[in-house]
Structure formats: structure tokens, C-alpha cells
Amino acid sequence: MTETITAGGAVFTRLKALGVDYVFANSGTDFPPIIEGLAEARANGIALPKALVIPHEHAAMGMAHGYYLMTGRAQAVMLHTNVGLSNGVIGAINAACEHVPILLMSGRTPVTESGRFGARTVPIAWGQEMRDQTALVRESCKWDYELRFPEQVAGLLDRAHAIASSTPKGPVYLSLPRETLCEPCPRDGLDGPPAIAPVVGAPNPEAIRTAAEWLAGARSPLVIAQRGSGDADSFTAFADWAEDWGIAVCSWWATHLAISTEHPCHVGADPGPWLAEADVVVVLDSLAPWWPDRHPLADGAKVTNIGPDPVFSRFPVRNFPSHLSIAGENRLTVPALIAAMRGLARDEAAVAARRARLAGASEATRTAIRAKAADTARGITKAYVSLCLGEALDGLKASVFSELGTQLGVLKRTDHRSWFQEPHSGGLGWSFPCAMGAQLAEPDRICVATLGDGSYMFANPTVCHQIAEALALPVLVVIVNNEEWGAVRGSVAGLYPQGHAARANDMPLTALKPSPDFAMTASASRAWSRTVTDPAELHGAIEAALRVVREEKRQALLDVKVLPD
């Protein structure tokens, strides 16, 4: 082997050393040095991350997101100049909102017109020039830079990876000019260990002690959790702690599961009744823990915000009270809080009474919402799909990625990493590619994407089904198809309940009719697919689809026609 390698090949070599397994790539005319570098490395037996051809950039970002949710390791996405980067922006927004680290790169159209290897050739090299290409993703990235010289490859990727993986985590961006990628790069050191370690945020012990004392002395404590309770160990510890102390846990708009839906202290998704009486509230990694106009905080209540960035500094306006703010990774903060409460004085009779009350309320909530969901007199509802899917998945190693699809609580979910909801940034088309990324990370896990018909179309379904077939990813897609933008309808009706739009038979700007035959879209990529319109057929259809993904190891789709919300 020579002492140098193209900078394009050097990028992949260094990514491998950083622990990157996959590069989700959508190539273009800026990629020749990348592709040549891959071929050169393969010819010389150099270990590289696996480069995957992803036919749309949004799918690439979603798959990197899903892979991280399963593994906890940042992956790489490589896109084509400004046009490819622009298609990846929604994925960057989603990742930033959810603190998901992604090493995002895109080529930069050649800056020279002639006289240098890699200079411009075809007209698009002029058409794709931007004064500030990075501006497309700068607000969504923790760090950005442009590769200036080939010898910078290792150092810049080390820095990018460390920043992306530091608390709070998030995407980073590196621009790759074609001329630079064409230059030879020193091979020495490219496969060495990372030179920069990520910063892992841990809680302030004094703040933890204060939070513990507040909770131990509380009359009516409440935890509102949106983004989980950490890793598998802290998830288990959190559940035991909540029951031991009789602490109510609410999952208002939860994007990750913090506690089993069946737990006796899980009071459901509505914080209102519990917030009204809570004297101590812990906001656990929650961007917007309640609805300010609808959910008043009790007078004198003490609020502690806990999370990787407890005051969510990326967001211009977030004025929820935080009388105590504790920064750190949840997997470290939750156990620290639990440990700090051991041995603290408490009124055992009061705790026991509170625990019994919560158990009764929790059971009553579950019973009521599931009894209502089981009513199919008018047809299939989103709640009924949630109920049936939860029953079918019970006891199986499965993750549900819901995007305006199924409903947590009606849908039974008990295990760590068993539930993910669309990011609060609202970039549609997330769940299908995210489920595929998760499936790639854990082939033996059942990965189910549940999404509305609008979200399915946003996911570029032809692309996603092609990827699922090409990579043999047996995901199950369940479309809750109401032939409209249901979230938009709900928002209009919420603001103008007696308005003209709410009373109209056909609300403007919400209909998605006629609905395409989504089963045919899936079958074009040899997926098993079925359309369901009869409530009596839903249980059997879900079971049949699960047999396909579990036994035949191929993708399946259910297009379920549901009533409007």
C-alpha cells in the first residue's frame, strides 16, 4: 500500500476508527473521490464502515436517527452538495430537537473552474454554488466547518464526533469540497484511537441533594417525562423508585418511554389533574411539559427541570418555571437522584396511601381509555388500532415508532426502547425510515412504524420500500389512514370550536382524498400488504403481518382505513 490515500478514502477510514458502522449516503457528482477512495480501500483490505445507497436524503437521516436509538452510537450521513443537504434539513431539525448525534456531511461543488484536479466540469457545478451552504443546517447543528486540506480529515472528524456525542448530543455538519477530497491524504494514523473524548454530563451533587429533599418531603410529587428515563438499568430503577415513593409519573406527549404504561404509578398522558395538586414537580427531559393555558401549576409548587439541557437553550422561548435545574445524562442523573433519596425520612403511612391512590387511578385510566377504544360501532378508530397492536405485540421484543399514528397508553408498552414518537419538531416522514434504521441495528427486534397517511407520503414511501427490500429489513408499516391532515383539523377545531371550519362538512386545506392504494405502493417492492376496512378483520391482519416479518423476514404493510379523530 502507498503512504497516502485519497481524502475521500481517508474520511471512511477515520469514521471506522470512531466507531461508525454505517454511512447512509446519497451520492452525486461531488462523490468521485469518495467512491474511488472506497474502491481503493476495499482493494487494499482496509476496514471501513458500510456505505449504504439511500435513494432519498430524508430517509438517510431518519435511518441514522433510528440506528442511534437502538445503539447509542452516532452514525454518518453523506449527501450531495446543497441540493442533497436541503433534502436532509428536516432530518437534521428532528435530530437536533431530540438530541440525536449524527455526523452529517455533504460535498461542496468545486470552487475552481479549471486548472485543478476536481475542478468544475458540467453546468450543475456552477448552479449548485452557494455563498453559505452551511446556512441550510446551521441552526440545527452544534458545530459546522469545511474541510480545507486533506491532512485535516482525522482531526476534524475527531472533533465533529466528540462534539456530536457530548452532552447535550446533537448533529454536526462538515462540508467537503471536491478538490480537497481529490488530494492525497497521509494514511498514517487514520485508524488510530480518537484523539478527543466526548463530554459526558453528570449532575451537580448539591442540586441532586436539594431535589431529593424536596421530593422526600412532598405531599403530592409528580414527574412529567417525555424523553425516557435513561438506559435500560435506569429505566428499571426509575420504575422501582416511583413505586417505592408513590410518585405519579405522567407521559405527556412522550417521545420515549420512561415507565411502563402498566405501572401502578403511571397516571397516563394528561398532566392536568396531577399538576393542579402537585407541590413538587420534576420535569424529566421534557421540552414542553404541559399546556400553559390549560394546565395551571399549583401555587407555591417547586419545579425541578432535569435533562441533558434542562432549560433547552436551543429554543428561543421556553419559559416554564425551573426553580432547580440539573444538567446531565438521564442514565446518570436518575440513579443519582434515587441514591440521594435512600434513607431520607418519610411518612410511611402517607406514602402507602399515596401509592394505593395512584395504583387505583392508574388502573382506572387504563380501563377507561381501552374500553372506549374497543368501541367499533362506527368503524375503526386510531385508538382501536392502538389497542389491537398492543395486544398483538404483548410479550414480544418490539419497538413502535409512532408518527401521528398509534396512541401510547391505549397501546400497551412496557419495556425500555419499546416506544418512540415523532420528534416535537414535527418534521414529517420520520417513523418509517427511523424504524428501518432501528431494524438495521437490531435484526431480531420487531420494528413497527405506525403513521398517518400524510406522514407515509412524506416518508417517500417508494424509496423506503426499496431500501427495505434491498437491505432485507422486515419492518411492519401500519398506516392509520383517515384521508386527511388530522392534526391540522384538530388544531383548527381546538382554536375555533364553534367556527365555520369546524362546522363545515369539508374543512379547507385538510383533505387527502382520493387516497392512493398504499398496498400497491408496498407491493411494488415485493412487500406483503393488505388494506383493512372492517374492524373484525384487524386483529387477524396484524397477526398475519407479524408472521410475515417474523418468519419470512420481509417487510409488510397494513393500510387501515380509520375514522377521523
Which mean pLDDT values do the consecutive 10-residue runs of the chain (565 residues) have?
82 95 93 87 87 97 98 97 97 98 95 91 92 96 96 96 98 95 90 96 97 98 98 98 98 98 97 97 98 96 98 96 98 98 96 98 97 96 98 98 96 98 97 98 98 96 98 98 85 87 83 92 98 98 98 98 90
Q: Within 13 A of 193's CA, how many CA atoms are on the CB side? A: 2
Structural domain includes residue 193: no
Please indicate, yes or no, whether residues 277 and 230 belong to a single structural domain of this protein.
yes
pLDDT reported for residue 503: 85
Please indicate, yes or no, whether residues 357 and 392 belong to a single structural domain of this protein.
no
The CATH number linked to 233 is 3.40.50.1220
Please indicate, yes or no, whether residues 410 and 325 belong to a single structural domain of this protein.
no
Structural domain includes residue 200: no
Chain centroid to Cα 322, Å, comes to 25
In a 3-state reduction of DSSP, which class is residue 392?
Answer: helix
- DSSP label of 415: S
The CATH number linked to 424 is 3.40.50.970
Structural domain includes residue 197: no
Q: How far apart are CA 207 and CA 304, in angstroms?
A: 10
- Minimal CA–CA distance to 60: which of 42, 75, 48? 75
Please indicate, yes or no, whether residues 258 and 211 belong to a single structural domain of this protein.
yes
Structural domain includes residue 191: no
Please indicate, yes or no, whether residues 305 and 345 belong to a single structural domain of this protein.
yes
- Minimal CA–CA distance to 406: which of 425, 384, 430, 424? 384
Domain termination residue (choose one: 365, 390, 420): 365
Cβ count within 10 A of residue 175: 21
Please indicate, yes or no, whether residues 222 and 126 belong to a single structural domain of this protein.
no
Distances (CA, A) of 519 to 292, 481, 508, 562: 41, 12, 27, 15
pLDDT reported for residue 501: 85
Distances (CA, A) of 214 to 63, 97, 203, 307, 337: 41, 29, 16, 18, 11
Please indicate, yes or no, whether residues 262 and 152 belong to a single structural domain of this protein.
no
H-run or E-run covering 495: helix 486-495
Please indicate, yes or no, whether residues 211 and 349 belong to a single structural domain of this protein.
yes
- Minimal CA–CA distance to 74: which of 153, 142, 136? 142
Structural domain includes residue 494: yes
pLDDT reported for residue 488: 83
Domain termination residue (choose one: 186, 214, 236): 186
- DSSP label of 549: I
First CA to last CA across the chain, in angstroms?
63
Cβ proximity of 96 and 141 under 8 Å = yes
- Minimal CA–CA distance to 454: which of 536, 564, 331? 564
- DSSP label of 31: -
Total number of domains constituting the chain: 3
Structural domain includes residue 192: no
Domain termination residue (choose one: 365, 386, 416): 365
Structural domain includes residue 166: yes
Please indicate, yes or no, whether residues 182 and 102 belong to a single structural domain of this protein.
yes
Name the residue range of residue 222's domain.
Answer: 205-365
What residues pair up with 256 in beta bridges, in sequence order? 227, 420
- Minimal CA–CA distance to 264: which of 366, 133, 381? 366
pLDDT reported for residue 362: 97
Cβ count within 10 A of residue 177: 21
Structural domain includes residue 194: no
Please indicate, yes or no, whether residues 107 and 11 belong to a single structural domain of this protein.
yes
Please indicate, yes or no, whether residues 403 and 535 belong to a single structural domain of this protein.
yes
Phi-psi region of 469 (alpha: psi -120 to 50; beta: other; left: phi over 0): alpha
Q: Within 13 A of 399's CA, how many CA atoms are on the CB side? A: 29
**Strand positions, DSSP E, 187-272:** 221-225, 248-250, 266-268
H-run or E-run covering 318: none
Please indicate, yes or no, whether residues 358 and 389 belong to a single structural domain of this protein.
no
